[in-house]
Amino acid sequence: MRAVVAERGQVTIPKALRERLGITPKMVLDFREENGRLVVEKVAQADPVGQAVGCLQFDRPTDEVLGDLRGEA
C-alpha cells in the first residue's frame, strides 16, 4: 500500500491498515526512525479510572470521610 505525503507533511493511513490494526480517530501514535525506516506504534491509552484510584489521601478512615460528606453525625 502506498500513500502520498501532503504539502503539510500529512499522510493518510490506508483504511485497510487502520481497520486491521485497530487505529481509530484521536488515537495517539508514536513515530520513530529505525535503521532508515519509519516505525509507527500505537501509544497505550491510560485508563482514566485507573489513574484516579488512590489519588486522594485522607488522614482519617474512609467511613468517617464518607459520613461527613453525607452529613451524618
Q: Where are the domains of the chain?
A: 15-70
Beta strands at 29-34 and 37-42: parallel, antiparallel or unpaired: antiparallel
The reported pTM is: 0.56
Residue whose cell numbers read 484521536: 26
Who wins on pLDDT, 58 or 42?
42
pLDDT band at 73 (very low <50, low <70, confident <90, very high): low
| Alpha-carbon gap, residue 51 to 47, rounded angstroms | 6
The answer to whether the CB of 29 falls within 8 A of the CB of 40 is: yes
| Alpha-carbon gap, residue 72 to 63, rounded angstroms | 11
> So what's the pLDDT on residue 65?
86
The answer to whether the CB of 2 falls within 8 A of the CB of 17 is: no
